[in-house]
Amino acid sequence: MFRNEKTWAGFVENNNTDEFHKKFDDAVGEVQKELGRNYPMIVGGKEVFSGNQFQVRSPADRNLILASFPLASEEDALHAIETAKNAFHAWSQVSYRSRVQIFREVADIFSHEKFKLAATMSFENGKNRLEAIGDLDESIDFMRFYAEQLEINEGFTKETRSASKNEKTRSVLKPYGVWGIIAPFNFPSAIAIGMTSGALMTGNTVVLKPSSDSPISSFKFVEAIYHKLPPAAVNFVTGAGSIVGKAIIESPDVSGIAFTGSKEVGISGYNDFVTRTPRPFISEMGGKNPAIISKTADLDKATDGVLRAAFGYSGQKCSACSRVYVQKEVAPIFLENLVTKARALKIGKPWERDTFISPVINESALKKFERASEAAKRDGKVLCGGSIVSSSELAAGNFVEPTIVTGLPRDHDLVREELFIPFLCVQEFENFDEAVAEANKSHYGLTAGLFSRDGAEIEKFFERIEAGVTYLNRSASATTGAMVGAQPFVGWKDSGISGKGAGGEYYLLQFMREQTQTRCD
């Protein structure tokens, strides 16, 4: 029976957190010995190196070269697609039981190696150790949960009632063919593995393009699984989105796309992909996620929940809380407590034990933070943060202060547009209907949270809020932290296209199409 990995929670329950930190520190030492190595692409079951490379540097220390990867050409991407197409028949004929077994084996490998994989991620995309181990837990959960779903549904085949006495009919879900997987930097293991597993486990073949900011974690997965599959069932191609991603989306030999990233890239990719012929495009495209704080709320829980949701992984989650609507009666004390807690958060190297605020991913994110801060100072009031960290020990990294802003007009760009940085806009409201209306006044509809002890408000929130993932009184995090198998992660409106959530019972269905098989006596 499927159970979530929950590594940190297990150490806490056993009162053994020092052992967790020792394991992570040991893993950091192991990872540091491997920095700077050359990595290949994997195409057609072979490792492919290239002299034309790009470097991966740590966002926590831009002088630290972590790896070099091939900079693929359009021809490289098209070759990977062709080999995946040629491998489709062989892989699609492998029994679902065999596919399930392969993914369970890889999940066990990841469970055994998770501290080293998490430490690698801390260097690669700047996640602190708890965020990184959570990413690995989610990766493992995806593989095991989807394996169980395939098993429970017997490979998604079932008998239907017969139309006449001499007929027997079955409904069979079959894979489409080649899937392009375009993964983001922020969950380079969990999201890459979740999307790739969904496609592969259902019998499709795959071309995976990771983010150029964080390709190492995705490589570790492909490295662990590709030799267990027919050659070219999974292909790993690195390089620029404008070249590799474009080739995948424009290829007529790609049957489906699974994408996680920005709304602009997702909508553009979707429009290009379905222009020639209808094809499935599974996407998650970010959010501008609100939390509503009622005057009846437990304000200690509310400030904890908002703090963790807004500033966990420096706001670089599509589910991050970036808007708060707080009732006027409690706004002063809520803000005072929230600002006090935000100022106490430790900014530091992500692999260090007590770090909470980690770096933003790259120079583009730094510039976005600068522009947002300038606009906030001009058009609103910055209660804390608003500056790039300049201390000597962090100067080589992309570190910024967690920032809380009030007094902006409700239609201001900072209130409406996704930023993907540790930047929180707080607005006041007088009545609850007003708060829900403002929360819904967004192109996005990914996650939303409420802190209230009023039964009527709670029911109204769940009835009216326009978001796919919703939480009530969740001090662990107001809008983030969906658990595989428990909280399917799905976006409404411009946050997603398919309306089916990752980590949920309907997710695998998207990678297959139905065939009715009728046999007559």
Give counts: helices (H), strands (E), the chain: 15, 22
List, as one string, the DSSP characters of 359-384.
--SSHHHHHHHHHHHHHHHHHSEEEE
The candidate with the shortest Cα–Cα distance to 479, out of 264, 325, 254, 331, is 325
Which of 366, 404, 371, 368 minimizes the C-alpha distance to 388?
366
Residues, the chain, total? 521
Which of 284, 401, 428, 457 is labelled catalytic? 284
CA distance 262 to 287: 9
Backbone angles phi, psi at 234, to 5 degrees: -125, 135
513 beta partners: 174
Only one residue has tokens 């004929």, namely 93
The tokens for 260 are 């996680």
Catalytic residue chosen out of the listed positions 124, 138, 318, 321: 318
Per DSSP, 346 falls in state: P
Closest CA to 238 of 193, 181, 293: 181
Active-site annotation holds for 514? no
Joined together, the tokens standing for residue 432 give 């609850």
For residue 136, give every residue at least 6 positions away whose Cβ sits within 8 Å of its Cβ, in sequence order, or none. Answer: 5, 7, 110, 114, 117, 118, 121, 189, 190
Q: Take residue 158 and report the two structure tokens written for it.
A: 């079932």
Distance CA 431, CA 324 (A): 14
Q: Examine the residue annotation and report whether 131 is marked as an active-site residue of this protein.
A: no
- The type of residue at 502 is A
Q: Could you list the active site residues? A: 284, 318
